[in-house]
Amino acid sequence: MTTADTHAAEPAPKSLARARMLVGPALAAASATLSPELRRVVEYHWGWQDADGKPAAQRGGKLLRPALALLSAEAVGQPVERALAAAAALELIHDFTLLHDDVMDRDRERRGRATAWAVFGIGPALCAGDALVPLAQRVLLADESPARVAALAALADATETVIAGQALDLAFEGRCDIAVADYVRMASMKTGALLGCAASLGALLTEGPPEAVEALAEFGRSLGLAFQAVDDWLGIWGDPVRVGKPAASDLRQRKASLPIVIGAAHEGAAGTELRALLAQREPLSEREVARGVALLEATDAEARTLELARRELERALASLERGAFEPVAREALRELAVFVVARES
Amino acid sequence: MTTADTHAAEPAPKSLARARMLVGPALAAASATLSPELRRVVEYHWGWQDADGKPAAQRGGKLLRPALALLSAEAVGQPVERALAAAAALELIHDFTLLHDDVMDRDRERRGRATAWAVFGIGPALCAGDALVPLAQRVLLADESPARVAALAALADATETVIAGQALDLAFEGRCDIAVADYVRMASMKTGALLGCAASLGALLTEGPPEAVEALAEFGRSLGLAFQAVDDWLGIWGDPVRVGKPAASDLRQRKASLPIVIGAAHEGAAGTELRALLAQREPLSEREVARGVALLEATDAEARTLELARRELERALASLERGAFEPVAREALRELAVFVVARES
């Protein structure tokens, strides 16, 4: 079973390509203000430079958060250009979390390339991540909207929540006894908060009505949970080439991802065997990895992970129906949400 | 020769004790809003909790930056209470830099206690540091002053500069060919920027005249350079018990600190021998550490480090004379600056 069974694989929504076109120059302008030591790490992380500092055009992020921010302005009837600062600031915060998470998780690969810390060292990668938080703040403060301070406060709140979620995730590491509800709380902090902010920040910055901003934030929070469930599904069942990470990488690293939490909570023999595998100290052999995947399937962990993704997607789409949104933008948000949940990388 | 030769050791200025009394509750209120996983790391770092989470009252920071922020408001004739948010936000940013620097430098001890990462692990210490940046922002945004957004922008700028300075410091690591001017540029970013911000942020937040804010910022930037030179002196010649780090610890770690940069740039035989010692890959023996200290003295590195501290202190005090400041606050700023340069820990 793949996510493609649930939704036919669709071409990438135009809103992502538009975000790349519109937000790229804003990100370039922001990174040009960084010191040379920081800028090379950030632009390597974006895939704009190779490890030697030579220009490159490698696979970067999807720009999902900027795309959401731009659409959220349009959803409340505002021109997309007025949300550019929100879109760029969100991507900078997202990049901050990636640069730091890769260090904390010791992930050496992202999007099929060596992670920034693996290339430049831990210190420079941490500094680059650190720098993006005040830089995001500066990008928002430079905007002319009277709502820029409210937007700044919303982004700071979301950033704090994401960090608290990451700290909780770290506290879960190596544990086999995490309740699914605790996992969901962690994921709603770590992933839901920033997607909730992204899906509403454009509307907030362009002074959309508070009920609309809140409905968009709810849409984003639910989408964030669905997104995380799919991410966790990809961390076990994703195609290594498309995902840019080794097969079943979350199992190899014994991350407390959603399928692993569900599988480890299983009360039958498969659950017992899986817990023993997860508790093992040595790296898992290829044979053990394959056995672990089979156990996850036997405990229904795969099906329940995809079910959670589907349920949260439905919840997200229902939030979209609650506001009086511009129909074209609403449809684009719907399309983007469905794409995110059906994605294979 | 010790710094005490330059200035008689003085009792700690009252402005530091006052900062502790006034800013302590603001810091406590801020940390109470953090998630439990983050809060324990932050309060351990402050010396408020031990490693098991039991209340403690151990040696924390000096609260130099909050003390400067409070005095800067008084210097422009404003009540100290109006600068509390600035004072707390500055200390939070300072703590962010300490938590992260200790990870990057692999420092296992600070203020005579194990560093946060050595107790809780790298991930939790990084998350705790990360969380303090948006928390500082939130503390400032909650202030009622119309100048809170300007204060926020100034703090974000200083934070970015500090991070760029740290990245430059990392780039200097393991190099024996750093020009003293490049070292000074790095230190003015890494240490000068935040002290410049601290010495002016209270005045900025309480809407002091721009010329006064700028003179105070210059005072702080010069004081920051003097502070860093003294810090670097303490990193070689400081009393291990008072400093809370091993004797000559910067030499053991071969940090590019000011005396080491000066010594390594020396053209005589002592410089050559010192460079060879610094280039050695193995940890230095006690005998080699002692020889290194002797070489630093032979290359005049100690005297020139103290000379730079003295010169920057004089420059700082001259900036204080340039503004039309309240005499009592001016005197307290002078006293604090002299104390910082004469300190032995």
pLDDT confidence band for B254 (50 / 70 / 90):
confident
Name the residue of chain B whose CA is nearest to A105's CA: B123
Contact B13, B338 (CB under 8 A): no
Considering CB atoms only, which of B127, B152, B157 is closest to A166?
B127
Considering CB atoms only, which of A35, A156, A164 is closest to B167?
A35
Are B167 and A124 inside 8 Å of each other by CB? yes
Note the pLDDT tens digit of each residue in A111-157: 889 999 999 999 999 999 999 999 999 999 999 999 999 999 999 99
Mean pLDDT of chain B: 93
Q: How many CB pairs under 8 A join A and B?
A: 124
Whole-number Å distance between alpha carbons of B334 and B345 = 19
According to the model, what pLDDT value does residue B192 have? 98
DSSP track, A129-189: HHHHHHHHHHHHHTS--TTHHHHHHHHHHHHHHHHHHHHHHHHHTT-S---HHHHHHHHII
**Residues near A263 by Cβ (< 8 Å), separated by ≥ 6?**
A270, A271, A274, A295, A296, A299, A301
Structure tokens at A310: 């589907």
Give the single-character DSSP code of A232: H
Q: Is the pLDDT of residue B7 over 70?
A: no
pLDDT confidence band for A88 (50 / 70 / 90):
very high
Are A167 and B38 inside 8 Å of each other by CB? yes
Sign of CA dihedral B148, B136, A196, A100: positive
Q: ipTM of the predicted structure?
A: 0.92
According to the model, what pLDDT value does residue B100 have? 98
**Residues near A36 by Cβ (< 8 Å), separated by ≥ 6?**
none
Q: Is the pLDDT of residue B244 over 70?
A: yes
Q: Is the pLDDT of residue A19 over 60?
A: yes
B-chain CB neighbours of A138 within 8 Å are: 153, 156-157, 160
According to the model, what pLDDT value does residue B277 have? 93
Whole-number Å distance between alpha carbons of A43 and A21 = 16
A-chain CB neighbours of B163 within 8 Å are: 38, 127, 130-131, 134
According to the model, what pLDDT value does residue B111 have? 84
Helix (H) or strand (E) holding A114: strand A113-114
Interface residue of A33, A37, A186 to substitute, partner B, most B CBs within 10 Å: A37
Angle between helices A84-105 and A36-45 (to 10 degrees): 90
According to the model, what pLDDT value does residue A157 have? 98
Q: Which domains does chain B have, with CATH numbers?
A: 6-342 (1.10.600.10)
Note the pLDDT tens digit of each residue in A29-82: 999 999 999 999 999 999 999 999 999 988 778 999 999 999 999 999 999 999
Give the pTM. 0.94
Note the pLDDT tens digit of each residue in B303-318: 999 999 999 999 999 9
- The predicted model gives B162-181 an average pLDDT of 93
Q: How many CB atoms lie within 10 A of CB A282?
A: 6
Mean pLDDT of chain A: 93
Considering CB atoms only, which of A96, A126, A170 is closest to B100?
A126
**Residues near A54 by Cβ (< 8 Å), separated by ≥ 6?**
none
Q: Is the pLDDT of residue A7 over 50?
A: no
Using an 8 Å CB-CB cutoff, list residues of chain A that contact chain B.
34-35, 37-38, 96, 100, 103-104, 121-124, 126-128, 130-131, 133-135, 137-138, 141, 149, 152-153, 156-157, 159-160, 163-164, 166-168, 170-171
According to the model, what pLDDT value does residue A84 have? 98
Which CA distances in Å does B226 have to A32, B90, B164, B293, B305?
31, 19, 19, 21, 9
Using an 8 Å CB-CB cutoff, list residues of chain B that contact chain A.
34-35, 37-38, 96, 100, 103-104, 121-124, 126-128, 130-131, 133-135, 137-138, 141, 149, 152-153, 156-157, 159-160, 163-164, 166-168, 170-171
According to the model, what pLDDT value does residue A111 have? 84
